[in-house]
Amino acid sequence: MFKPTVGPIVGHTTSDHARIFLRGSQYTNNPVYAGLRYRLQGDSKWSEGRFIQLHAHRDMSDVIVLTGLQADSLYQYQAGWLTLESPTPSLEALQEQSVQWPEDVYCLRTLPRENGALQAYIVGSCRYLRITAGTPSTPERGDRTFAGIQRVVDRADPPIRGVLMTGDQVYLDDLNIVAPDRTYKDILFKYRIVFSQPHIGKLMSSVPTYMILDDHEIEDNWPANKQFKDEILYANAMSAYRLYQVSHSPAHELTSDGALNRSLKHYWYELSHGDIEWFVTDSRTQRNLSSQDRRILDIEQERALLAWLDNSTARVKFIVTSVMFYPDSKRDDGDAWQAFPQQRLRLLEYIRQRKIRNVIFVSGDVHGSMTSRLGHSEDADFEVHTIVSSPFYNSELLPYASASDFIFDNAMARTGNGEYRYELTSPVIGQDNFAHLRVAAQSVQVTFYDGDARPLHTVEIPLR
């Protein structure tokens, strides 16, 4: 059995199940299988192998679902792939034959069943990697940030429950003017390179990783820059996105027998960790740019988000949106929420009028990190917060954000009942970084770290 060519990647994990993505390869016409076995840490006996056939139309990748796990437990697992000599094997024969597993042993932790006062997460976005003529340009520079994240994970208390990557995990348009990646083959190659770097690979093999796309998974400022010839680009980009980012996410439901439901209704999804809940929006692929009904979220998604806000009993409600909810930029390029003011105001009014507390928007995109508080001039009981974390690694050709890029001296929105105004509650951090969120009983502590895991700034967001 061979080591995975990409992965393993631990995806959505609960108190009793975990989803693990891995990719193999193919060098004969005989069937290829991915396999995995696991055990509780401290046990000497491995489980029977779990196997799944890999197919070329899925880029020789798939997701193995482990069910019936014990809550709040540390598991070890081994994973790999193999090609069988027989062209018509059975899974029973595969189970019975002696498999030489790869030596690497990985670990994953399931969630506790009880609501805990403490939960912790890593949040970040925008990992730039240029690939020219099939060769990545200094990949170790961007991968260094994930080594830094691993150091924070290793010493974190409470344990990190998930790494949330909020967009631009790959840059398909890194050479958009000269040599854009448009073919399915080139796009898949880029995903393989990005997700198989050593430090991000180690991180994702042990910590549940949750992803949502932004524009560079397709092309810059999609779909505003869309042209007729881009239909094929979009189809290729989204096919690769479904394989490498969506396949192990909560967007796919489980069937009654614990298998992965292959059907996919949408890219947005909900995530629950006890009394901490997340709504991860797709703020990229379902935009409506018409003047009659301009929206960043489609109708179905907006209704689902409002229903979630209404019905959720979570102590803290995180809303992930790949582009910034606020503050607004002085240079409005039509891409963030400020270009969709009516829908943003509808959402804020809904939160304010129903007195929904402890709503925090999480985003990336702008190559700068910060926290900010939004209040209302006539409603002292209303407030929401935003956490922006970007980038994991920036291109030398792109600037970092600074406080002077944003509007702070005007009301963000006005209604007949008053004004929405925001204020920074942290510096704007203009360098490669990521955020460590520690959710306690009375506050959310946000610590921004540089790529070497040195703390840059800490903010306490009070909970009510």
Structural domains in the chain, CATH included, are 6-109 (2.60.40.10), 119-462 (3.60.21.70)
Enter the tokens of residue 324: 């910034």
**By C-alpha distance, which of 266, 160, 255, 249 is closest to 211?**
249
CA distances from 35 to 7, 53, 121, 301 (A): 12, 9, 29, 36
Residues forming beta bridges with residue 320, ordered by sequence position: 280, 362
Q: What is the pLDDT of residue 30?
A: 86
Q: What is the pLDDT of residue 398?
A: 86
Task: State the greatest distance between any 2 C-alpha atoms of the chain, in Å, as a whole number.
Answer: 74
Enter the tokens of residue 93: 């024969």
Q: What is the pLDDT of residue 176?
A: 54
Let me know: does 123 contact 178? Beta carbons within 8 Å.
Answer: no
Let me know: does 448 contact 434? Beta carbons within 8 Å.
Answer: yes
SS3 313: coil
Q: Please, is 450 exposed, middle or buried when counting C-beta atoms within 10 Å of its C-beta (0-12, 13-18, 19+)?
A: middle
Global pTM? 0.96
Length of the chain measured in residues: 464
Q: What percent of the chain has pLDDT over 70?
A: 96
Q: What is the pLDDT of residues 207-223, one digit of tens each?
A: 999 999 999 999 999 99
Written as one letter, the residue type at 315 is R
Gap between the Cα atoms of 114 and 121, Å rounded? 18
Number of H helices, E strands in the chain: 7, 23
In the predicted model, residues of the chain with pLDDT beneath 50 are none
Q: What is the pLDDT of residue 135?
A: 87
Q: What is the pLDDT of residue 300?
A: 98
Q: What is the pLDDT of residue 64?
A: 98
SS3 205: coil
Element containing residue 464 per DSSP (H, E): none
Q: What is the pLDDT of residue 217?
A: 97
Q: Read off the DSSP letter of residue 117.
A: S
CA distances from 57 to 53, 223, 424 (A): 12, 26, 47
Which residue carries 């998974």 as its tokens? 217
